Structure 1
């Protein structure tokens, strides 16, 4: 059996906080280095998650787009034989003349999507909105990114705008390129908890599927999230519209990080203050990385991808594989994802690829992009010398992409997330549950 493919990706977030924007492509220097694409081609990858971002092309008006940068990049990718998976909005709020919660967001995104398709009709893979649920949480519920909402109503409106925007965007794209495929990305984790917080874990574990459930037309009156969405501003008509006319992804793009699995504990006194979540009418609790809690058993890539397959029966690609750690641990994380994806393929699941994310590294994700220029984590290439320098990941990724295997003594050891020295917290209740 052929192994899964290896794709690549470039961290390309344009995020807005207040009136200010930050741009990962400017931070990395990729905006002025078209030759980076040749380095990516040397890896042997044939698909690349890549940006044509609304904020970049039409910052002032959709009537006055600037295609200079994207024309050059798309032409070079075609020459190199790399198929782009185009992202139109990557954790962004759009240009200043719109925002995630505004009425003009959906028609604006759809119009922009149609413009991209008309200019590049040969492009066949799109992600109109990257990680809709994650962005809706950070922008509408936690107040971190623009429009800095901290309430359920703003969160729900942003999430539904994301989903309706994705559907409208794909409709506009397919009017030009009927065979265009939706590669819908979303972070996937799992929430574990003490028995007393099982209600909150159940809510989180239902909510994590919101992007895919809405797109696939699963969210009807019998869905666990129906009442929550209706209570916080969703109309029955707009929800049922997605049930009657879904926009199911052609590929589920699953992003998973070492912090994606969480553990909730009402005994918050055993944890750092910043881990504490105010429960409102219910007791406060701590929300921490499950990987650090003894004796929680993680589902990891294999368990979570299997859950996604059993729920949707749709082709799956892991669309972000990245770990901020030492070179050795970065290599082990890639191997961890690779092994899980290929094992699932052997088990009959339609696994397509793993995607090496942040080829050029990433900036400031340790603070969720709130402290610009404070932190850099490398990827397949390290930019700290001023230009891309290959790291130990280069040979590994190239081996997996071109030969389907890679061997190195470092890969014989387990990653830190599988070793006993990972534990920072001990779960004090007698039992725990995973809803």
Structure 2
């Protein structure tokens, strides 16, 4: 019996039919460098920009200065473009720009932003990264949300072409390191101080987002937050560790108006949050397209041994498992917003492991929109969490401090060449971030 394929082959040839190039879900396999189109998966890197204070406010740790970005910003941004990346997590030095209420210094910001625009780089603009201007003091100041909202408004007005923002980077880490672990800024070790810092930073993010949305109703808010977990090797788990594993969600619970557990709610009330403040947070989530960014370093995941000693576990659960917990809780589109390791030889393997985690998450149907190797160049003193000014270069960048590529840069280039044109979500021809304002979400 004659097969229909005989006639098809005779008329149109054997596979590779004319017309196939115009699409369908399998029209293109996704390889090739990123295009920057709205439905393109967002491959990114970042410029490390932390600026907390230590020594009880006497010493400012400005990574933009310590990594020489202020002098070499054109070179650094050129490396982003040369690598083939279209997206950059970029933090303006808030503590230097807002010099007093209503007084701003935009000199460096204007230069850097103009260069980014010239190169066609899309910034995810980071507006507060672990520190505040000296005149605001620290995260215990209740005036912070109002002054920060003013700053956000001025940024959005000054750079109307910017659409993607991270108003406050890693809110949980900011509050914990400053007010519970005693490392940065106010350097307190107190539950009440931690709750106070948490309230003020989340409120700052919410009020800042509102001001951004007034200028850009279609803003995309990529909330970068640390994916944390503590494994406890005790036959009977201790309440303190279990509470810590619950508190890791607190910043996003308040930000996204997700009711925390009764135990956490009691903790908030016991440590200074009023019912009126809680109700304010639970009134609804901020405007804009909300993307849940999860940062994952193997050192975020720890193990408490039976003798109480704490060691770094690297990736027992990994980004996939931990971020799955966050996704099930909030049901937001996801981005892997930070990762690295301090061992330059191990970095390419770590990159591939993180990418494997992302592919597995996407296979589950979770909309993972982007990935970030953080950062572009090596960092300084993050081996001590910036607690001590030793001047130690941490070999975690795509490039070293002399702007020479590390092995992970070649690995990232290979990854981009293979996957750079995959869509934001599988079959992403049906989904892209549009230019329309985000609409209110309702549950049905």
CA distance in 2, matches of 1:241, 1:184: 20
CA shift for structure 1 position 245: 2.4
SS in 2 for 1:144: coil
The aligned residue for residue 377 of structure 1 is 394
1:89-238 to 2 correspondences below 5 Å: 89-193=128-232, 194-219=234-259, 223-238=262-277
CA deviations over 1:228-266 (Å, ceiling 9, x no partner): 01100001111111111222771111011111112224x
What is the number of equivalent residue pairs in this alignment?
Answer: 377
Provide the rounded CA distance (Å) in 2 between the counterparts of 1:234 and 1:213.
Answer: 14
TM-score of the pair, normalised by structure 2: 0.81
1:73-84 alignment to 2 at 5 Å?
Answer: 73-84=112-123
Contact 1:84 1:123 in 2 (8 A): yes
Out of 269, 273, 286, the position equivalent to 1:247 is 286
Q: Which residue of 2 aligns with 1:356?
A: 373
1:367 maps to which of 361, 375, 384: 384
Q: SS of the residue aligned with 1:254?
A: strand
- CA RMSD in angstroms comes to 1.8
Greater Cα shift, 162-171 or 243-252: 243-252
- Cross-structure match for 1:259: 299
Alignment of 1:323-362 (within 5 A): 323-327=341-345, 329-362=346-379
1:2 CA drift (Å): 4.4
Between the aligned partners of 2:78 and 2:404, the Cα distance in structure 1 is 13
- Unmatched runs of 5 consecutive residues or more in structure 2: 1-28, 32-40, 421-444
For the Cα contact (< 8 Å) 2:347–2:407, is it kept in 1? no
Counterpart pick for 1:57 among 79, 87, 97:
97
Cα distance, 1:286–1:377 mapped onto 2, change above 3 Å: same
Counterpart selection for 2:404 from 389, 405, 417 = 389
Q: What are the equivalent positions in structure 2 for 1:316-327 lying under 5 Å apart? A: 316-327=334-345
| Residue in 2 that maps onto 1:424 | none
Deviation of 1:343 (Å): 1.6
Partner residue in 1 for 2:59: 20
The aligned residue for residue 418 of structure 1 is: none
Q: How does 1:37-56 map to 2 (within 5 A)?
A: 37-56=77-96
* Cross-structure match for 1:425: none
Does the CA contact (< 8 Å) of 1:98 and 1:105 recur in 2?
A: no
Partner in structure 1 of residue 46 of structure 2: 9
Equivalent of 1:399, from 406, 414, 421? 414
Distance across 1 between alignment mates of 2:112 and 2:262 = 43
Once the two structures are TM-superposed, the CA of residue 130 in structure 1 deviates from its matched residue by 0.7
Q: Aligned to 1:388, what secondary structure does the other structure show?
A: coil
Q: Which residue of 2 aligns with 1:315?
A: 333
* Structure 1: segments with no counterpart, 5+ residues: 269-284, 292-296, 406-435
Cα distance in 1 for partners of 2:123, 2:333 equals: 18
**SS where residue 145 of structure 2 aligns?**
helix
What is the Cα deviation at residue 215 of structure 1?
1.0
Instruction: Check if 1:70 corresponds to 2:138.
Output: no
Equivalent in the alignment of 1:422: none
Question: How far has the Cα of 1:198 moved from its partner?
Answer: 4.2
Contact 1:192 1:263 in 2 (8 A): yes
